[in-house]
Structure 1
């Protein structure tokens, strides 16, 4: 599903966001990507859907070698990825239905297929009755459910969620996490960028920690833990 090999990302003025990332995520996994602010986790996520381009290294996502992908081929990649943001990124002048339908329109879905797909996604997130409401009429939790419906409407292989509970109260955040869990149980791979340790501890999944642009901790489902030892300059089992 995701393969990153020796990935480096440098910005202008000498900022080194990622310093040789090696990471593999298999089909159907649910992985938390954690780290302090500025550690590089959001940059890593953006590389996966080609919002940013790696400086060096190889990245493969959903069978696409995106480190060498041409700009015209990026839409093909994004048809297989659903993206959920902390700030929802909804179109406030459009209805809930129109927000989700737009995600299908931009990838060229046939018009007659759009309505059943949108309503199916809304039923899944339990917002069918809100189809004609504007986002401004909804609570924060409901707005995030709309953004999740938009992300899953095309049945993507992978969902990348960047701090999806960051603006939500603890109870609403837990409800959103349960929704992601249900989506993952149906076979969708999920990579979730988060700083919410309470959620990570409550709903256990593989945890990958980024520090200063490097993977320093990788705890997989089988509780095998690999940690980066700075003194040795290599990964060791702990």
Structure 2
């Protein structure tokens, strides 16, 4: 199954600035793909097009079986129910608890009230933050806040996660912990597209790498066949 398909996608901004110049990209169900490139290369623009934060000027985009070029505004929430989004700056609601931040993601898509608590607690257990449910984001470390945002992204069991520089504000050790978490999520079948400029992360957790430069894809390499070893201390398989 194709999770993402982009054909000749063009995105322009004011004064004729072209962020994307005829992008073609296909990502299959279950893949883990890094999107890399320098600042201003078009990485974040491409990601925003996939969850319809922005719309393309030209070309076709298909995500989770839905053709975005024909999508009306009222249909965008339906698309986003199938996508989890993780940001560099977490985008948590600071006046709400950890539990309320994650619950809100379910409330906005109309989840039945009686289903919300078990789903939220399940997501918190997955990211090992069950004991932080009643804390405010300001009481957490940066790594914990990012784990909350990941819990929020996975609470609805999305088919696809788009992560835009998820380790950008974290120290190397914490970034590694977050990457192990993403790896586990991918291993259970969720497709992941990760925008990143962190080359050390790309080298350690070796997956398909797509490089974009000045709005064009210039490199597409699948390196997911590298050896995966079992880490006894973590009790899980990790890329090394």
Q: TM-score interval w.r.t. the shorter chain?
A: over 0.9
Q: Secondary structure at the match of 2:6?
A: strand
* Aligned equivalent of 2:233: none
Paired with 1:10 and 1:182, the residues of 2 have a C-alpha distance of: 36
Deviations 1:50-70 (A, max 9, x none): 000000000000000012210
Q: Distance in 1 between matches of 2:111 and 2:117?
A: 11
- Name the CA distance, whole Å, in 2 between partners of 1:157 and 1:120: 17
Match of 2:220, SS state, is strand
Pick from 74, 89, 106 the counterpart of residue 76 of structure 2: 74
SS of residue matched to 1:102 = helix
Report the counterpart of residue 114 of structure 2 in structure 1.
Answer: 112
Aligned residue for 1:181, secondary structure, equals helix
Alignment correspondent of 2:149: 147
TM, length-normalised to structure 1: 0.93
* Two-structure CA RMSD over aligned residues (Å): 0.7
Alignment size in residue pairs: 223
TM superposition shift of 1:197: 0.2
TM-score, reference length from structure 2: 0.92
**Gaps in structure 2 of 5+ consecutive residues:** 226-240
Please show how residues 185-224 of structure 1 align to structure 2 within 5 Å.
185-221=187-223
**4+ long deviations beyond 6 Å:** none
Mapped pair 1:177 → 2:176 = no
The 5 A counterparts of 1:88-107 are 88-107=90-109
Aligned residue among 62, 65, 70 for 2:67: 65
